[in-house]
Structure 1
């Protein structure tokens, strides 16, 4: 792996005030600026040569001229997509090296400042020239090529669409997830299935982010992940068109994952009570409240679950009985109160802190006190 020189922020800011940034021709003539005091990473690596940096500058400048430099930029998405590929191919640096601000400050201010000024203007936010993580002209391009990989056509993605992937750490940090999102989105655009592509991407990302606290996307296999992303985009497209999402297709990936886990998970030892498992889908998309009454259900079954929970956990509450027995809050209350009347359970706490314990345990507790 190669390493690049590093230019600190303060010298870079001084350099920006001394160079003729208002005149692109004069600025281009001043590039490269190899007289700055720089440092390198202390952990070693092969230092990039001046000839390699010259070749990179020549390639980026040629690309910029093809897209209008020094006049107004033409087709910025195509320019940035192609520039991102060039930067990633020419700069074979590690993600750790690419994560340092000073690396991109040096590359921008000392080798490609004229291109950065042409792209964003001389009055642009200084973060376009300093190596800011999301705003630096070239740092953001290198990371797009790194995260989305060689198979995604970056020229087909707009700035807003890329930002929706790259500036959401929970998505960009998972390469499979980020690339899967980009593939699914571009596939829909190619099929003409995205009436408003910007809105589709935004809506899909909001739905995906709502799942990230509850779904470990890294734990899904390739097919499950692709299916999950497809379902998210289906729901986003349906929402934008005012149509309800297809309830029969939701969470097929999660259901398949849970079923696979159930088939391969070890069986409990003898004497261990198995508690019904609440799936991720149940938490992320809980079922609608039941409309039936306790008289319509197996009262004995719900009562048995209440006893099992109390025996296993030491206590049972209205909430966990409701979840395990798939009954309403009122039905759970009726079951628990009936068990108290029958002497099987004893009530503890008040109001929201109410819970129930086995009557035998309550008697032992009273005897000890």
Structure 2
């Protein structure tokens, strides 16, 4: 059964965000809490999370943040490590079912009530998309849980190993297409597995990934990925990646030939 987390509704969330975005990390640390008078819960679907579990979750996330430099300034590489580690931590320990994790207001509660100091440390620009969960692919914590959920492989000795394959921008390309692609963890794992295999040979990886995903979207219009065994699915995904590579290399050949002729 899923654990139900408190939900901080938009009106109060906006109020807290406007108040907190100008505070220092030290001041935000003094505002952390495990409850909020305006928080609500889903009526059914599981047991409410205990405050002691929220306290343990906060302690664990803060420990990961400290390894990345919190509360001081950090490097992009250290913050990427923070993202991977917290994504695994949240997915492994929070006890959320996907239906509960899809509720944006629970992530707002975590970001603005339980972990405001860590949240605003992670994103120094403090734009509202990172805290108010208008889009879960951008939220400071929600995006990490979903990234971990989509790559989680129970058959692997390291179920979260695929978190190391793509960065945030690349993974967002997959999750932004979640209705057709990102909603299937099996397909996402196959995409990551195949992407990790290919040699891009100096090609623009962002453009190549976009083309690769477009081919899968077209394929998904007449194929049910969920009905395929892993080997079959990997074969179809690998074929789409190969077609993208061939197309990109073909585009480069005339340009190189022209440059050679001019030389």
Q: Same fold judged by TM-score > 0.5?
A: yes
Instruction: Sort the Cα spacing of 1:21 and 1:153 in 2 relative to 1 into closer, same or farther, 3 A.
Output: farther
Report which of the two structures shows the higher radius of gyration computed on alpha carbons.
1
**Relative contact order (C-alpha < 8 Å, sep 6+): which is higher?**
2
- The match for 1:12 is 13
Q: Distance in 2 between matches of 1:183 and 1:96?
A: 26
Q: Aligned-pair distance for 1:187?
A: 2.6
Q: Say which of 171, 174, 182 aligns to 2:181.
A: 171
Q: Distance in 2 between matches of 1:65 and 1:74?
A: 14
Deviations 1:139-182 (A, max 9, x none): 11101111111244313321122112111121011221111001
8 A contact 1:21–1:114 mirrored in 2: no
The runs of 5 or more residues in structure 1 that have no matched partner are 245-369
1:97 maps onto 2:104 in alignment: no
Q: Distance in 2 between matches of 1:174 and 1:208?
A: 13
Residue aligned with 1:2, SS: strand
- TM-score of the pair, normalised by structure 1: 0.61
Instruction: Sort the Cα spacing of 1:179 and 1:153 in 2 relative to 1 into closer, same or farther, 3 A.
Output: closer
Deviations 1:273-308 (A, max 9, x none): xxxxxxxxxxxxxxxxxxxxxxxxxxxxxxxxxxxx
- The match for 1:113 is 116
Q: Aligned-pair distance for 1:185?
A: 0.9
8 A contact 1:64–1:79 mirrored in 2: yes
Instruction: Sort the Cα spacing of 1:218 and 1:45 in 2 relative to 1 into closer, same or farther, 3 A.
Output: closer
- The match for 1:252 is none
User: 1:287-326 counterparts in 2 under 5 A?
Assistant: none
8 A contact 1:88–1:145 mirrored in 2: yes
Q: Aligned-pair distance for 1:199?
A: 3.3
1:220 maps onto 2:228 in alignment: yes
- The match for 2:243 is 235
Q: Distance in 2 between matches of 1:63 and 1:227?
A: 38
User: 1:87-236 counterparts in 2 under 5 A?
Assistant: 87-121=90-124, 123-132=125-134, 133-149=136-152, 150-169=159-178, 170-188=180-198, 192-196=199-203, 197-236=205-244
Q: Aligned-pair distance for 1:90?
A: 1.8
How many pairs were matched up?
240
Q: Aligned-pair distance for 1:33?
A: 5.7
